[in-house]
A = this chain, B = another copy of it.
Amino acid sequence: MEPDITIIAALIGDPSRSRMLLALMSGKALTATELALEADITAQTASGHLAKLVESQLLIVRKQGRHKYFQLNGQDVAQLIEQLMNLSVSINPAAIATGPADQDLRDSRICYDHLAGSLGVSLYDSLIQEGHLLGHGENTELTESGKEFFARLGVNFDDWHKSKRPLCKACLDWSERRNHLAGKLGNWIIEDVFSKKWAVKDLDSRIVRFSPAGLEAFCKKYKIART
């Protein structure tokens, strides 16, 4: 009887599958063919892999017309992958390529459903600085001042109490090795950014591309010091 962690780790421990999972870290739901392209394998092979990932409940799938949309099965899975990246970075720091495309990824990217990268870290720092957030390790708490601040921005906290997903959560950022904001509030912030058209998701990567004006507005809104 082999431990269950073996099965999960073995699923991630295949190059094609881990490429798919990384692609899904953008939070977007992708079709089977898109994932096959991402992993650089044929559709047949991808189909087999995806079936396994769904069966093991690492992914969930939604059928829409003749497409099948896959996404990570919740925050737990995303967090596990993030943790794996953390460890691989701390073991092999040279592995972080320093290409120009990579720089954008480090600046601001999607981590499942919230903002990561140096901008995400700056946001977190600023919220702490302003007294809106209290951070103790992995757990984070919104202060009264923070509740007021976000209520003024249009957040309706009452609606959120129904969900069991934590309001705030710190997520360790692999490129910065510091916390950024996850949880429902982290998700709200990035959705707010998109709805205001301050930034758009890059088509086939996890990069979040801010417009110059959007970046300025964002930094002003959250009192982030520009570098």
Contacts and interface: CB of A to CB of B under 8 A. Distances in A.
A140 B187 CA distance: 48
A158 interface: no
A213 interface: no
A10 B97 CA distance: 20
Contacts of A193: none
Contacts of A119: none
A76 B3 CA distance: 20
A12 B12 CA distance: 10
Interface string A62-81: 00000000000000110111
Nearest to A174: B5
A101 interface: no
A87 interface: yes
A75 to B, nearest CB: 11
Contact of A13 (B12, B76, B79, B88): B12
B5 A85 contact: yes
What 6 pairs between A and B have smallest CB-CB spacing? A10-B13, A4-B88, A9-B13, A9-B12, A2-B15, A13-B13
A40 to B, nearest CB: 10
A139 interface: no
A175 interface: no
A9 B6 contact: no
Nearest to A6: B18
A95 interface: yes
Nearest to A4: B88
A83 interface: yes
